[in-house]
Amino acid sequence: MTNSGSTSQSRTKKTIPVHPGPDFLSNLPDNIIEDILHHLPIIDSARTSVLANKWRYKWLGITQLLFDEHCMKLSARRILTDKLASIVNSILAQHQGKILKFKLSVLYCNTDNAKTYIHKWIDILSNRGLRDLTLENQIGIAVLVGDWFYGCEQLEVLKLKCWTIELNNSFNTFKHLKDLHLEKVNFSADDFKSLTSRCPLLEKLTVIEIAIPRLEVRCSKLKYLHAQGVFYELRIENGEHLKFLLIHQSTSIVIVRSFQQKVKETFTLQTVFASLASIESLEVWSHSLEFFAVGQIPMSLPNMLDCVKDIFMAVNIMDLRQIAAAFCLIRSSPNLKRLRIGAWIGQMTYNAVEVANFWDKHNGHRSCFDHLNIVKVEQSTCEGFEVEFISYLLKNSPALEQMTVEVLDSIPDEDIMLFEQNLLIEGRSPQTKIEVSKTTKRLMDYPYGWALMVALGFNELAAAHPRTAKFSVVVVVIFSIVIGMILSLILLILRKLYPYAFSIVINSVQPVLSGVMGVWVGMITGTVVQTAILFSMTYRTNWNKEASYAKMRIKQWKEEARDNINDI
């Protein structure tokens, strides 16, 4: 009895009363709860209804509905099917309050009712104060959406990808639209011109691959223009407020020969930049200079680009006409401060007389880039007319402080050193610092790209980046293991199929190879031992110490190169 009483008493003493603490989730301010819900995918927002009583219906009042890759993680769910449409219908039916932003991003539309669904949704959203609308059809065929979105008079941002638009004559204006993004959207050149002219407050316009050969933009408030595709005319009217211009001709003029005559007449430096005196930043990508080089190329534009501070251009360094077009834009920007050149090599041939006449003409033309401080040449191959091109900039830039040339990683070190010596010989301002280094931006262009990661790691040692060098080695080892495992898995899965394909060959060489079986075993054993030794050496390497050694060697080589130049 005594023992049982003491046991029950001890059990009573061990009981610890639990007092529920304050409900922090329910006590959060409404604005914080709304901010949390806005940063969650819509599915996760719906799941927060079980957290607390106060959260139960909060997700139904969020002002952003985003049906994108964050909401639909599996590719199968990113297809606009009748099932997905029913989910969107259900959420819109339950939603309470305003919806300021709506985004639908799918891979493609797998329903004949896509137009009907979207028309219905936009009709609902237009009555909820919609201001930001994004519809993306990533890889599917363009779907006709009609004129439904013209009822969204409060729209400020409109982004469409892979849709077909029909412009309604009864449509007046997007009174509040400031940002318009059109990618792979099908409509006529006249409809495009009419649409942009009916957006009085439009400030940002992005046009990507819309298959319109003639781009005419009428936006008096426009500040940002990105035009990408294949077009033989780019006419910008009322561009007095335009600050940023990006021109991207994505295809060579050789492929669209039918455009050549029209390009020569309408896509010239004089016509495109006729009324763009307020531009501050200019980017000319891909084959754009090739298009400009078709027509007449003046030494400088009639109307100077006095406000331009930054220029980025992609230039075929073998094409003298493209170089002339680049020089024209640089000369026409007297207040230019920063210049980036993406150099690439194309198939162009000139005789010695043409080359001599070209450089005599441009070197004889008085040019002075008084405000140019920084020049960066990317993807250099140390070939073509790069030395002449860079030398021209060095001679005519008295205020130049930094000249950086990034050479492709595939170029031999001997060629790079010779290239750098040629640049150092050329005349330049005393304060100009010339830096030539290797770049890895085009590493994946090569079929052996991952193999180059090892070489990249040791190049990083020379740049005094020990952590980057170590990371490069780790990456290449991991990927080698992963690729080996994948290939082994494929062979294992197909083990019942591939033996039949190779049985005849194997049986033919088997008698011969059987005599060298011992050699094969020895090679495998040696490979395993070598791998273990290399792994141990890599793991125990002092990367900071190796980086300092590499830096000292590079410094010594540079001093020897300067001594050679002084001897010359």
Over the stretch 383-393, which tens digit does the pLDDT of each residue have?
A: 778 888 888 89
User: What are the pLDDT digits (tens) for 487-505?
Assistant: 777 777 765 555 544 444 4
Separation CA 309–CA 281 (nearest Å): 6
- Cα separation, 320 vs 435, in Å, equals 25
Whether 143 and 137 have beta carbons less than 8 Å apart is answered as yes
Confidence of residue 14 (pLDDT cuts 50, 70, 90): low
pLDDT of 552 = 65
- The more confidently predicted of residues 124 and 482 is 124
Find the range with the poorest average confidence among 233-247, 253-267, 478-492.
Answer: 478-492
pLDDT for 84 equals: 83
- What is the distance between the alpha carbons of residues 269 and 333, in angstroms, rounded to a whole number? 13
Burial letters for 321-358: b for 16+ Cβ neighbours within 10 Å, e otherwise?
bbbbbbbbbbbbbbebebbbbbbbeeeeeeeeeeeeeb
At 565, the pLDDT band (50, 70, 90 cuts) reads very low
pLDDT confidence of residue 168:
67
- The per-residue pLDDT for 507 is 43
pLDDT at 237 over 50: yes
The pLDDT of residue 560 is 56
For range 188-200, the mean pLDDT: 85
How far CA 33 is from CA of 24, 47, 62, 101, 129, in Å, comes to: 12, 14, 10, 18, 21
Query: How far apart (Å, rounded) are the C-alpha atoms in residues 76 and 70?
Result: 13
Report the alpha-carbon distance of residue 366 to residue 532 in Å, rounded: 64
Tell me the sheet residues that pair with 233: 214
User: Using N-to-C axis directions, what is the helix angle for 320-331 and 352-364, rounded to 10°?
Assistant: 10
Q: Where are the alpha helices (DSSP H) in 203-274?
A: 260-266, 269-272
Which of 23-27, 103-107, 109-113, 477-481 tops mean pLDDT? 103-107
Which segments within 138-218 are labelled E, that is strand? 143-146, 157-161, 163-165, 179-183, 204-208, 214-218
pLDDT at 433 over 80: yes
Provide the percentage of residues in the chain whose pLDDT is more than 70: 73
For residue 207 the two structure tokens come to 């046009």
- Pairing state of beta strands 433-439 and 402-408? parallel
Distances, alpha carbon 16 to alpha carbons 12, 27, 414, in Å: 9, 27, 78
**Segment 338-360 mean pLDDT:** 85
SS3 114: helix
Q: How confident is the model at residue 550 (pLDDT cuts 50, 70, 90)?
A: low
* Structural domains of the chain, with CATH: 28-62 (no CATH), 68-347+367-438 (3.80.10), 449-501+521-557 (no CATH)
Q: Which amino acid is at 197?
A: S
Let me know: does 286 contact 253? Beta carbons within 8 Å.
no
Would you say 208 and 185 are in contact if contact means Cβ atoms under 8 Å apart? no
- Judged by DSSP in three states, 316 sits in strand
Q: What is the pLDDT of residue 18?
A: 55
The average pLDDT across 436-460 equals 50
Give the confidence band of 162 by pLDDT, cuts at 50, 70, 90: confident
Asked whether the predicted pLDDT for residue 268 surpasses 90, the reply is yes
Is the pLDDT at 142 greater than 70? The verdict is: no
The Cα–Cα gap between 46 and 37 comes to 9
Is residue 57 helix, strand or coil?
coil
Strand-pair category, 281-286 with 233-237: unpaired
Give the model's pLDDT for residue 62.
86
CA separation for the pair 27, 349 (Å, rounded)? 75
Task: State yes or no: pLDDT of 303 exceeds 60.
Answer: yes
d(CA 514, CA 525): 17
pLDDT at 206: 96
User: Looking at the predicted structure, is the pLDDT value of residue 144 above 70?
Assistant: no
- Please state, in angstroms and rounded to a whole number, the distance separating the CA atoms of residues 127 and 148: 13
Average pLDDT over residues 364-375: 87
Among residues of the chain, what percentage have pLDDT more than 90?
23
CA distance 295 to 313: 18
CA distance 462 to 533: 24
Predicted pLDDT at 527: 75
Name which of 331, 252, 281 is nearest 323 in CA terms. 331
